Amino acid sequence: MDAILNRKSIRKYKDIKVSDEIIEELLRAGMQAPSAVNEQPWEFVVLRDKEIVKKITKVNPYSQMLLNTDVAIVVCGNVEKEIVKGLWVQDCSAATENILLAAEDKGLGAVWLGIYPLDDRVNAIKELLNLPDFIIPLSIVPVGYPDEQREPTDRFNKTRIHYDKW
């Protein structure tokens, strides 16, 4: 529960390299996500190339923090692995959340940058990363050592809970 309750969006990072071993642990966490009918449609692109990152910030105006982190993970859905059409979005969202929670657990900062379903962002990221037609980018998760202190927000709201009926 600690990682869940303490997770927050971090957008400022120290100039410290995140090891390949830690990135692999985050990817392992992503791949442990629940998957509808066990499709496991996720694919991941690990970004360290600053030139690609700069181009991404031009197509996604809310991604400027990418310029200040060592690494980011692009979570993509492989629609060729679909057994049930459209469930890749849920599975890849769960994978994204697992990466965010694993980052929190490791003392790292991260934030979810949405790509899908915004066609302009999807198409631009596909082109920049040379993604095949059957791969759809869902999110980008910048990861780094936090260079800001943020308190987690308690989002629990009893008025949103309904039992048996609305």
pLDDT in tens, 107-119: 999 999 999 999 9
Q: Which residues pair with 76 in a beta bridge?
A: 43, 137
Alpha-carbon span 45 to 86, nearest angstrom: 21
Alpha-carbon span 25 to 32, nearest angstrom: 11
Give tens-digit pLDDT for 44-60: 999 999 999 999 999 99
Is residue 32 included in any domain, yes or no? yes
What domain range includes position 133? 2-144
Alpha-carbon span 143 to 103, nearest angstrom: 7
Three-state secondary structure call for residue 66: helix
Domain count, the chain: 1
Is residue 82 included in any domain, yes or no? yes
Give tens-digit pLDDT for 62-116: 999 999 999 999 999 999 999 999 999 999 999 999 999 999 999 999 999 999 9
| CATH number of domain containing 130 | 3.40.109.10
Q: Which residues pair with 144 in a beta bridge?
A: 109
Alpha-carbon span 73 to 147, nearest angstrom: 19
Residues 6 or more apart whose CB falls under 8 angstroms from that of 126 comprise 135, 136, 137
